[in-house]
Amino acid sequence: MWLSLATTLLVWYWWLPHAPLWAGFYLATLILMWVAQRYAKPIGHIWWCYLPFAVLFAAPFMIINYLSLRGIDVGWLWEVGSCLVLAGLLWMVHFGVKRQRAKTALLKSEARIDELTQLNNFRVFNEDLLTIYQQSQISGTPFALYTFDIDHFKGINDRYGHLMGNQVLEAVATRMEVVANHLGYPDVRCYRTGGEEFSLIIPQIVPSIKQAEKIAWRIHDELGALHFVSEAGQPFQITVSLGEDRSRSDDQNYLDVYNRADQYLYNSKRAGRNTVTINGQTLTQR
């Protein structure tokens, strides 16, 4: 695009009669084009930067056109005024497009991010799970999926109120991300997949049951160590029930691992909650 514009301008400046200094004006236009591209965001952000720059950008064209016409008055006041009006209209269009893009980006973000916890939502979880499953099938490297929910969360809402329940969800999400960043695996991803249910995907996991147990108990203990105080001054803590499994070479569908992990989560709940189930084995004691 740059080359085509530069070529077109070169032909235009060279074609003008009675303009021996056309090369200087051509160079000035190229410099202004570079400035416009390099600093497009700050220039286009506010009108009192955009309009003066628009006039400056048009100046080489107007001046060399004046020189080419040897001073003939072609209504320069009208020319400058028209330039300003056109620049203003272009800025309004630019601002409208920019605002629409920002609105669209916000809507896309809201469709993918859980508003309360700022974690990825189930829609993103589903997309990521499919992508990681496909990559795992190609590479032959398994991935792990941990899913857990907060025990007796309805009781927290009923006893302390929904605002307190929201604070619990926010705190769990924050601590979950901290734990994920310190597991020693790159690109660990966290999600809120339901009301009080959360999930965590670890791509390219080390195939070790002991390692899986260690991670599961770490998540369990870190969340269980959170302390809360109700508006009435009542301190309380939470517990979680957790299920984990990893992908298998004979999985037929990307949801197979999630279905197993989810089933193991319910095994933990049926075992009395506040525990973990790894690869189908419920561990109530360590």
Does some domain include residue 117?
Answer: no
Looking at the structure, do residues 274 and 190 belong to the same domain, yes or no?
Answer: yes
Taking the C-alpha atoms of residue 3 and residue 146, their distance in angstroms, rounded to an integer, is 53
Does some domain include residue 259?
Answer: yes
Looking at the structure, do residues 19 and 154 belong to the same domain, yes or no?
Answer: no
Asked whether 188 and 195 are in contact (CB, 8 A), the reply is: no
Domain end, chosen from 112, 147, 171, is at: 112
Does some domain include residue 141?
Answer: yes
In this structure, which amino acid lies at residue 134?
A: Q
Q: C-alpha 59: how far from its chain's center?
A: 41
**The CATH number of the domain where 206 resides is what?**
3.30.70.270
Does some domain include residue 51?
Answer: yes
Compute φ and ψ for 190, nearest 5 degrees.
Answer: -115, 145
Does some domain include residue 272?
Answer: yes
Taking the C-alpha atoms of residue 185 and residue 155, their distance in angstroms, rounded to an integer, is 35
Domain end, chosen from 78, 112, 146, is at: 112
Looking at the structure, do residues 127 and 93 belong to the same domain, yes or no?
Answer: no
Those residues with Cβ within 8 angstroms of residue 39's Cβ, 6 or more apart along the chain or in another chain:
none
Those residues with Cβ within 8 angstroms of residue 117's Cβ, 6 or more apart along the chain or in another chain:
169, 170, 172, 173, 192
Does some domain include residue 100?
Answer: yes
Looking at the structure, do residues 158 and 128 belong to the same domain, yes or no?
Answer: yes
Other CB atoms within 10 A of residue 31 CB: 11
Determine the straight-line distance between the first and last CA of the chain, rounded to whole angstroms. 65
Residue with structure tokens 């870190």? 222
Looking at the structure, do residues 129 and 269 belong to the same domain, yes or no?
Answer: yes
Q: Please tell me the predicted confidence (pLDDT) of residue 181.
A: 93
Do strands 240-246 and 276-278 pair parallel, antiparallel, or not at all (unpaired)?
parallel
Looking at the structure, do residues 107 and 131 belong to the same domain, yes or no?
Answer: no
Give, in order, the Cα–Cα distances in Å from 62 to each of 8, 58, 59, 171.
17, 6, 5, 62
Looking at the structure, do residues 218 and 101 belong to the same domain, yes or no?
Answer: no
Q: Please tell me the predicted confidence (pLDDT) of residue 206.
A: 81
Strands (E), the chain: 144-150, 189-192, 197-202, 228-229, 235-236, 240-246, 276-278, 281-283
Looking at the structure, do residues 223 and 95 belong to the same domain, yes or no?
Answer: no
Looking at the structure, do residues 80 and 156 belong to the same domain, yes or no?
Answer: no
pTM for the model: 0.67
Those residues with Cβ within 8 angstroms of residue 203's Cβ, 6 or more apart along the chain or in another chain:
132, 135, 136, 141, 143, 185, 186, 187, 188, 189
For 191, which DSSP code? E
Does some domain include residue 190?
Answer: yes
Does some domain include residue 34?
Answer: yes
Handedness of CA 119, 121, 126, 128 (dihedral sign): negative
Domain end, chosen from 44, 78, 112, is at: 112
Looking at the structure, do residues 202 and 222 belong to the same domain, yes or no?
Answer: yes
pLDDT per residue as tens, the chain (286 positions) = 678 878 887 887 898 888 888 899 889 988 988 887 788 778 777 777 777 887 788 888 888 888 888 777 767 676 676 666 666 656 665 666 677 777 766 666 567 899 899 999 999 999 999 999 999 999 999 999 999 999 999 999 999 999 999 999 999 999 999 999 999 898 999 999 999 999 999 998 888 899 999 999 999 999 999 999 999 999 999 999 999 999 998 999 999 999 999 999 999 999 999 999 998 999 876 5
Looking at the structure, do residues 97 and 135 belong to the same domain, yes or no?
Answer: no
Asked whether 209 and 245 are in contact (CB, 8 A), the reply is: no
Taking the C-alpha atoms of residue 168 and residue 224, their distance in angstroms, rounded to an integer, is 11
State the residue range of the domain holding 61. Answer: 2-112
The DSSP result for 144-162, as a single string, is EEEEEEETTHHHHHHHH-H
Q: Domain count for the chain, please give it.
A: 2
Bridge partners of 180?
none
Looking at the structure, do residues 97 and 139 belong to the same domain, yes or no?
Answer: no
